[in-house]
Structure 1
Amino acid sequence: MGPHRFTPTAHTGGAWSATEQHVSPLAGLLIHEIEAERIRQARPALLISRITLDILGPIAVSPFDIRVEIVRPGRTIELVEATAVIDGRDTVTARAWFACVEDTDAVAGGEPPSLEPPDTLPAWPLTEVWQGGYIESLDIRAIGIPQPGRTTAWVSTTVDLLAGESVSELAAFVGLVDTANGIAVRQEPTKWLFPNLDLTIHLYRQPSGRWIGLDTSVVFGHRGQGVTSSVLHDLEGPVGFAQQTLTVRPNLR
């Protein structure tokens, strides 16, 4: 395949349907392509501060293309967009805001507390709740006892985001964030559907390492709406926040 053409593997298998990809690996790949395009164009060295993904439809398990556009070029802030095109249709769009690097040590503060590290925590088989090759590829360690709508857990994987090519720690991190909607389910997925329509990540520090900590809460409203909110961590501490818009409805299948 060419530099912008990709083929999903069994490790991308979706949690809601065997015929769909999970959005998490694709999210990481979109960020990888955004970073790679900025390198190709020799853009200024900036840091990603916000990522927004919109899921425009089912993510078929088919070869796909990614196109990247610098929407708002700049020396101190920049907006870049990447779109996954599957079977001729725009399927997932990611937009990333980049900002300049500054020394703000003197005013830094306000972080949430750090999490208990994953080293001594037992494995949590999320396959008891969800299907799919993506979920099967994960190493998950819950902190405390998972509760409906409220769970804190560490997530990692030994599967490379892109076979035969290295990716940044940020891209690998983003490739796990969407797992949040699956760790704190309020209702059984066999009885209720609550897929997310989007994913928005705000960062105040760039993540590092192979583990992502998800301190997650899920709220269902009274008219079919819901929100999954997470504080994001790496092993050094919190790095930012994520939110996912849910569409909640009975599972009639």
Structure 2
Amino acid sequence: MNTGSYYEPIDERRYKPTLHAGGAWDTDEMHFSPLGGLIVHAIDRYLADRPDNGLVMSRISFDILGRLALDECEIRVETIRPGRTIELIEAVVLMADRPVVRARAWLLTSVDTGAVAGGGADRLTPPDELAPWHMASLWPGGYIASVEARPLAPPQPGRTTAWISTSLDLVAGQTASPLASFVALVDTANGIAVRQSPTEWMFPNVDLTVHLHRQPAGRWTGLDTTVTFGPTGQGITSTVLHDVNGPVGHAQQMLTVRPL
């Protein structure tokens, strides 16, 4: 098994995770972060087989339907709303022929709106000016051990801003797009600003939705994250997403909060 990637391709639609994809809540499960990137990668490959229509992926929503075993998966992609300027793509991840993730991506037309662009958050301090943070002291699992984190300030309960990066390939022998590589790190947000110790409370996310007003670039994913717990077992992780050039969009994760 190639240890320099999160996944090994089996065929055109099936992939086998490496140990680097191991989860934080259960090391025998798959962390969703690299799987989210793999889904975008599968959509990219699906779109590459047809003429380029100039549309860009602007929203990706992932619903996690079941346990993500650290085992091979299949990703099926189809167009469910075709269009010249707006299109909706669906991807379904299956394990043992059972759907475990359902994702939908809106593709929107790309036009020059530079003259009216604005309204985003301020740029973050660049990662090369910051010291590393060893997240493995807080979380177990192969995925967390594989990433480099650089917080802008000491992490606080429910509030942290940090850069996340990895030296690993998403899929062995395949080139991932900047967007797939970026999304492969976004789900880390729920682990950087923990409100309560993960040895006393569970707060896994059941979904992830990413909205983008600009396509990301570079090897760093910036996460400006706030975590809120409600009084009846629900929580929300809200993140302003950045690359080194500035903000690119937002991410939201719905949490199920339970004592261990």
User: What range describes the TM-score normalised by the shorter chain of this pair?
Assistant: over 0.9
Deviation at 1:121, TM superposition (A): 1.0
Aligned position for 1:14: 23
Deviation at 1:2, TM superposition (A): 1.2
Residue 29 of structure 1: SS of its match in structure 2? helix
How many Å separate the matches in 2 of 1:192 and 1:206?
Answer: 35
The superposition leaves residues 34-81 of structure 1 with CA deviations (integer Å, 9 ceiling, x where unpaired) of 111111132512111101000001100111111001111111010001
Residue 145 of structure 1: SS of its match in structure 2? coil
1:222 maps to 2:231? yes
Aligned position for 2:14: 5
How many Å separate the matches in 2 of 1:239 and 1:28?
Answer: 16
Residue 70 (structure 1) aligned to one of 61, 64, 79: 79
Aligned position for 2:250: 241
How does the TM-score come out when normalised to structure 1?
0.98
1:168 maps to 2:160? no
Residue 123 (structure 1) aligned to one of 113, 132, 141: 132
How many Å separate the matches in 1 of 2:200 and 2:84?
Answer: 50
Residue 191 (structure 1) aligned to one of 185, 196, 200: 200
1:211 maps to 2:220? yes
Deviation at 1:218, TM superposition (A): 0.1
How many Å separate the matches in 1 of 2:103 and 2:37?
Answer: 10
Aligned position for 2:41: 32
- Range with bigger deviation, 147-156 or 89-98: 89-98
Aligned position for 2:6: none
Residue 52 (structure 1) aligned to one of 54, 61, 72: 61
How many Å separate the matches in 2 of 1:125 and 1:201?
Answer: 26
How many Å separate the matches in 1 of 2:136 and 2:60?
Answer: 28
Identity of aligned residues (%): 57
How many Å separate the matches in 2 of 1:37 and 1:45?
Answer: 15
- Does the 8 A contact of 1:12 with 1:22 survive in 2? yes
How many Å separate the matches in 1 of 2:27 and 2:237?
Answer: 23
- Range with bigger deviation, 217-226 or 100-109: 100-109
Q: AA paired with 1:247?
A: T
How many Å separate the matches in 2 of 1:43 and 1:23?
Answer: 29
Count of paired positions: 251
Q: AA paired with 2:206?
A: L
How many Å separate the matches in 2 of 1:96 and 1:35?
Answer: 11
- Does the 8 A contact of 1:62 with 1:87 survive in 2? no
- Does the 8 A contact of 1:31 with 1:94 survive in 2? no
Where structure 1 has 5 or more consecutive residues not aligned to the other structure, the ranges are none
Residue 95 (structure 1) aligned to one of 99, 104, 111: 104
Deviation at 1:152, TM superposition (A): 0.3
The superposition leaves residues 193-218 of structure 1 with CA deviations (integer Å, 9 ceiling, x where unpaired) of 00000000000000000001000000
How many Å separate the matches in 2 of 1:42 and 1:129?
Answer: 46
- Does the 8 A contact of 1:6 with 1:63 survive in 2? yes
Q: AA paired with 1:213?
A: G
Residue 161 of structure 1: SS of its match in structure 2? strand
Aligned position for 2:51: 42
Aligned position for 2:3: none
- Does the 8 A contact of 1:56 with 1:92 survive in 2? yes
Deviation at 1:83, TM superposition (A): 1.1
Q: AA paired with 1:106?
A: A
How many Å separate the matches in 2 of 1:105 and 1:40?
Answer: 30
Residue 44 of structure 1: SS of its match in structure 2? coil
